[in-house]
Chains A and B, each alone.
Chain A
């Protein structure tokens, strides 16, 4: 059970809202230094898994072992959750990344050079005094990446970082992600663009409420796996209570089809899904 230091280990993890699980029976380890893409159809539980790792969504079952250093995990949510109408300067937004160092009361001024440098790395030179409301979608995403740089975390979780962002911005930010990978940071990104995943992410977890495949990207993104992910998420009953699925239904049958030779680290025995079927 002992994972390497700095790894994130998922043990029989089930996550969800209001007792309705969105991610099921996930086992596996995100190695330190991994560059992992999370792929799956809409509603597959990608965002939920990231929120679970930062502790935003409670575990309904199983557990997550995180690196216990304070501030070890940086998390970039979908930008729709941020109030961009707030009268704040870009520099102040980026300076939020300093929280772990300066807390609520210490001065941010000594770190000014560092903030400017981070803005330079994301291509926002000269934007420091602009209100955040005046940035375009792509510029705003760059500013959030600058905040991630300032946070300087060992683990970085990105939730659909390139949605609504143009090609050039995505390319710049992907280069930045590559640089982080080179520095030995762990990166997990939920993504939709499979070409992007194939081009930049060596490892992929294909998710459709439950893990479909987890491993080297080329092997995971096989037509067979992708089709299966689609079927799984379409077959899902929205009203199901916790693990209310009956034996032999579509998802289960598929996991038999894989056979005993199925060697992904998250594999679980056929009996496991029924463990808490009696939950209300």
Chain B
């Protein structure tokens, strides 16, 4: 029984090199993106990260126009565009009456449309699909190095920013009265977000790049009471979703990126029902108990 289960889950990885590469890439992303997602969620910036992930597209598209499906060009383009939109949206919010969510929505619609048009100028439908939904089964060495590098930078970066970042989230005013670190910390964190979006873009494509960032983070909220617990739970959850999603896509011949995000989504729904921290079943049972 266990043997069948193990073979069912891990067989494809033992058998095929491209599956192992996909797994390594997804595990690297699972190490770095969910902790960033935890902070995004706690800062109520979940939707903002979604908007920023779409903003990566036109930059990657310009890279694609210049150099074809080349990793460094598209990565660099995506990084520049993502950071530019994050900063621009902030500037628009500060200098006009428009709230940050509205200005982000405007920017991301513009950039999504511009990105698709730019790619269609030169590429085929297939290229467009690859860019929108990722090419996790075709990760080459440079792409894996990029994902590994992003994971390393993110973990060390978060460790360095951790204390002021938590204070920025809980009580930004307090941080401002004791230190000038608030602004730089915020922008460094945005930088990490964009970095992970570019990483997610390699594996899951621009439309689903936030999938491994936010879903595991939100799931972790149902399992852990404090930040020290939520971060490891979110990482474990993303890793589980990666293995499940990759296996599922291999066995049932499903598109890989969406399969991984669906696996993360399934974990989220299960946690919402059965999680010990505010899960629905527990809440329901407790309510019955009080009535009785």
Contacts and interface: CB of A to CB of B under 8 A. Distances in A.
Interface of A: 54-56, 71, 73-75, 77, 81-83, 86-89, 92-93, 96, 99-100, 104-105, 131-132, 151
Interface stretch (B79-87, B109-117, B162-170): B162-170
Interface of B is mostly: helix
8 contacts: A56-B177, A82-B170, A87-B221, A87-B230, A99-B175, A99-B179, A100-B178, A104-B164
A84 B169 CA distance: 10
A143 to B, nearest CB: 12
Given A71-B178, A88-B227, A96 B171 contact: yes
A161 B156 CA distance: 39
A89 B176 CA distance: 21
Contact of B160 (A73, A74, A105): A105
Interface of B: 42, 160-161, 163-164, 166-167, 169-171, 173-179, 181, 221, 224-227, 230
A214 B161 CA distance: 44
B71 to A, nearest CB: 34
Most buried by B among A77, A87, A89: A87
Q: Which of A74, A99, A105 has the most CB of B within 10 A?
A: A99
Contacts of B176: 56
Question: In the complex, which of the residues A74, A75, A89, A96 has the most CB atoms of chain B within 10 Å of its own CB atom?
Answer: A96
A30 B170 CA distance: 31
B169 A56 contact: no
B174 A96 contact: yes
Most buried by B among A74, A81, A83, A104: A104
A92 B226 CA distance: 11
A71 B181 CA distance: 14
Contacts of A71: 178
A73 B177 CA distance: 8
